[in-house]
Structure 1
């Protein structure tokens, strides 16, 4: 599990840099200001969660379900949240907005929130164990 979490952290971080550069350069002329801002939100949240996945992969031994659920909430949450935003923005810019992705974004956001709650509970429990 540890290797999987660290791998997703690295992949999501790499893609955040690639998508950020793509948005800042290639898409800047194709997207309106609101679309560009939404795209950048997806990139920022993806990078934030790439970092927390790496921290989680280093800090947790993944011996209990709570630690495993934390990682899965972050992994799936990033995919649903950020990638649905990318799909919505790019499809809107192409004139064929994929509206079915609209409800996917808040579901991803909810998983990210749950991931942060679980992370907090689990990291506090590790701290108690170590002291």
Structure 2
């Protein structure tokens, strides 16, 4: 049971996801500060309110519909999405495209060879050495 849990935790996808969550939380704090410190006051000036939370409030009976708060949440979401796209997704896609172009052109990549590829190379080198020395091994 513990071995299965350890295998699950050390799997690359779980580690990548954990890193993404931590980085996402850090970027969310930065983007929230930008939205709260810059964008909300600018929009608040237009609507003559302190922030978007206090702007565009429609009262119907006892219910307050806070359209400004919804607009602020949408702006925050879009700001986070833009930052994540241009800081993480776009550079990673560009990197992958360059790696695919290198692989298509036959340029060796930095990825390690598989065990089967290494054994094939060793076999081929041994065969070349045997042919160069004029003798051939029959027990291989």
> Do the structures match in fold with TM over 0.5?
no
Question: If each structure's strand is expressed as a fraction of its own residues, which one has the higher value?
Answer: 2
Q: Which has the higher helix share?
A: 1
- Flag the structure with larger Rg: 2
Q: TM-score under structure 1 normalisation?
A: 0.29
